[in-house]
Amino acid sequence: MNRDFKVKIETEEEFFADLIAQAEKIDQGIIPEKTIERVSFPDLETFYRFCTPKRLQLLQELHKIGCVSISALAKHLHRHYKNVFSDVKTLENAGLVEKTDKGLYCVPWDEFTATVKLAS
């Protein structure tokens, strides 16, 4: 797979400033070597609500076992289907989990890196 995913803690202003800077580089003909795949959170509290221990475990196990249905994943994790479904959909909406053409879910990332700026 060899794909990485970036998680950033940044303000909305920082997010859009980075987006504009990237767009300006593209306008100048400077194309990034690889696509930046990421999700941003406005603060650590929001990130911690999103990235719970259960969701981290789900990501690790799903990466390990490969593409599976939510039902199979719930059985593998020994968790209720409803809770796994909710977590998978949350992670899918953020881009950390992907759905295949066959309706199976997988984690295409070898790792995801979180960046937290401590001071402005």
CA dihedral (59, 64, 70, 72) in degrees, to 10, reads -150
As a whole number of angstroms, the distance between CA 32 and CA 104 comes to 30
d(CA 83, CA 98): 18
- C-alpha 74/C-alpha 76 separation (Å) is 5
Check which CATH number belongs to the domain holding 84 and give it.
Answer: 1.10.10.10
- Domain residues for the domain of 71 are 4-116
pLDDT one-digit tens code per residue, 38-66:
888 888 888 888 889 999 999 999 999 99
Q: How many domains does the chain have?
A: 1
Q: Dump pLDDT digits (tens) for 66-115.
A: 999 999 999 999 999 999 999 999 999 988 899 999 999 999 888 778 87
Torsion angle (degrees, nearest 10) of CA 103, 56, 33, 67? -20
pLDDT digits (tens, 9 = 90+) for 104-115: 999 988 877 887
Structural contact between residues 105 and 38, judged by C-beta atoms closer than 8 angstroms = no
